[in-house]
Chain A
Amino acid sequence: MTSGETIVFEGVTKNFGAVRAVSDLSFTVQPGRVTGFLGPNGAGKSTSLRVLLGLVTATAGRATIGGVRYATLPDPMRRVGAALEAAFHPGRNARAHLTAAAIAGGLPRARVGTVLELVGMDAYADRRVGGYSMGMRQRLALATALLGDPGVLVLDEPINGLDPEGIRWTRGFLRALAAEGRTVLLSSHLLSEVQQTVDDVVVLADGRLRYDGPLTGLGAGQATVVDAPDRAALAAALTVAGLTPRAVPEGLSVDADPAEVGRIALAAGVALRELRGGGGLEEEFLALVGHDAATGEGAAR
């Protein structure tokens, strides 16, 4: 394994004709951590990743891996493993696909068997990809990315289309890769999908950076989600205590420590059904990415 390297986006802008897909994007991705690259569909995530990998030419700015552009890496597959859209020739089997990639990347053929085993695909390796489920394609794409035992992994929507078991497996796998010191950057349009996997998040909406930092910093208000059979009484008690409860699907959300919320409920004699911290994440995320849609700024592109 090569060591994990830092990914740096510096003022990356990409226009497709008159449409600005990515706008002055700058952020850094650290080794040894899993970084979630989040944003709604069409936010510019895939375009940004393709700029990083040299598949799309940036209109302005640059994206580098360990200070170097992907296209200039002498042995790119040994440094960076990428899985973009899980697309394969349907008539080729997994082993043949990986073998061709290994030849192109100058990697030992023995790696083919190793990565097939790593992703749990060895039993299906000689079947044509045309018959694969989405989950198997995702695993094969991941196996391709791992062929060169790279220190940097760039994965576009690796959890998309997976069943719950596949999601759980992928989470554990990516966490283990980061624990080995690798840089892991994965995109997703759902925070909840990667919430349990990522350390850091980069949030993108309408091609612009909205947030860049640790996941814990995203729910900055430290919101607590609380609910009671008598929700009105709970809301009244919280308001009396000087808090501002907001209605959320699971009950009420307040910017306070769970212990504090529990004390208020006890004092008011309201029996609780649910009480948990960290509930503000999704809300905060939606506020970040929904901002443009609300103000109509996106239409100005």
Chain B
Amino acid sequence: MTALGRAIAAEFAKTFTTRMWWLLLLILVGYAGLGAAGIAFALTVAPQTPGAGGPQLGGLELAPIVYSMATASGFVFPLILGAMSVTSEVRHRTLSTTFLATPHRWMVLVGKLVVAAVLGAAYGVAGSAATVGPGAAVLNAVGEDTQLGDGATWALVARMVLAMAIWGVVGVGIGVLIPSQVGSIVAILAFTQFVEPIARTAAAFVDALSGVARFLPGAASDALVGASFYSTLAGGSDALEWWQGGLVLAGYAVVFLVIGATTFWRRDVT
């Protein structure tokens, strides 16, 4: 095996010999699955209760919103996994051992990127199964179209898998940008759960902001997937094209990685 192949294989071995990867996977599946079933229920049963009135949400809209909970709320899991592949080495002071075995540090970084992308994609598959299964069951039970026979639904799933892979890569970027484990996790949670949701909600009401808000990472991810409960709430009328969303999200990864790789990753390990 080449030195690069060895570095990639070692990163896989390191990932699979601690508990983090399956803990995050488990929480993702539970969180996204419950979210999908809950939203499917809320959007179908709740509006039909007497007195609620209002127009019915068309079946064409409903299924993608339910299924895309895998990314709309699950993107943070590959993001954390990717970031922790770097920050846990800093926290436990294992970078010395890693760089002693692989003195060409860029190979270690490539190994972490490959692991984050592959596991991110796997999270995408598992998350999709967790939303499409319970989501379709609820839709079916209330007599809505599950759209499981529609090719567009499976194209959506494929884009979710791609989005989750890119989120894993963005995570590695965050890790080299903010090597402190606590710092990076706080930054991730603060930005994704607080700053961006508020910014996107504000953008729904202020026209001047909407042009900028669609370039936020979460908005770009929703655009890539093509559906999101939160985008629908915020009125995602001027969202990017799916491929543009993918490029914007990947752009964040590139910027973080370039900055981190030329600063922290090159620094003395003391």
Contacts and interface: CB of A to CB of B under 8 A. Distances in A.
A56 B104 CA distance: 13
Interface string B90-108: 0011101111111110000
A179 B48 CA distance: 85
Interface string A142-168: 001000000000000000000000000
A53 B269 CA distance: 10
A248 to B, nearest CB: 37
A71 B18 CA distance: 28
Interface in B1-56: 1, 3, 6-7, 9-10, 13-14, 17-20
B270 to A, nearest CB: 6
Interface stretch (A80-88, A113-121, A195-203, A253-261): A80-88
Interface in B77-132: 88, 92-94, 96-104
Interface stretch (A31-39, A93-101, A170-178): A93-101
Contacts of B7: 104
Interface string A194-215: 0000000000000000000000
A93 B17 contact: yes
Contact of A76 (B96, B98, B103): B103
Given A55-B268, A56-B270, A100 B100 contact: no
Contacts of B88: 89
Contact of B17 (A82, A92, A104): A92
Contacts of A104: 6-7, 9-10, 98, 101-102
B224 to A, nearest CB: 33
Contacts of A101: 10, 97, 101
Given A56-B270, A106-B1, A99 B13 contact: yes
- Tell me which of A57, A74, A101, A103 has the highest count of chain B C-beta atoms within 10 A of its own C-beta: A103
Interface string A63-87: 0000000111110110000101101
Contacts of B270: 16, 46-47, 50, 55-56
A243 to B, nearest CB: 47
Nearest to B6: A106
Contacts, number: 88
A93 B97 CA distance: 15
Contacts of B10: 100-101, 103-104
Interface string B134-168: 00000000000000000000000000000000000
Contacts of A46: 270
A217 interface: no
Contact of B3 (A96, A106, A144): A106
B269 A90 contact: no
Given A55-B269, A56-B270, A106-B1, A89 B94 contact: yes
Contacts of A74: 3
Contacts of B98: 104
B17 A54 contact: no
B213 to A, nearest CB: 39
A221 B268 CA distance: 41
Name the interface size band of chain A: 35 or more
A106 to B, nearest CB: 5
- Tell me which of B3, B9, B14, B101 has the highest count of chain A C-beta atoms within 10 A of its own C-beta: B101
A21 to B, nearest CB: 9
Given A87-B92, A92-B17, A106-B1, A76 B269 contact: no
A251 interface: no
B14 A100 contact: yes
A198 to B, nearest CB: 23
A85 B13 contact: no
Nearest to A76: B103
B175 to A, nearest CB: 15
Contacts of A57: 268
Contacts of B9: 103-104
B18 A89 contact: yes
B92 A90 contact: yes
B100 A91 contact: no
B19 A91 contact: yes
29 contacts: A50-B96, A54-B99, A54-B103, A71-B104, A72-B103, A73-B103, A76-B100, A77-B101, A85-B96, A87-B92, A87-B93, A87-B94, A87-B96, A88-B92, A89-B14, A91-B18, A92-B17, A92-B18, A96-B13, A96-B17, A97-B17, A99-B13, A100-B17, A101-B10, A101-B97, A101-B101, A104-B9, A106-B6, A144-B97
Q: Give 7 nearest A-B pairs by CB, closest first.
A: A104-B10, A96-B17, A104-B101, A87-B93, A71-B103, A56-B268, A100-B13
Given A50-B269, A103-B10, 5 more contacts: A55-B269, A71-B103, A77-B101, A96-B13, A144-B97
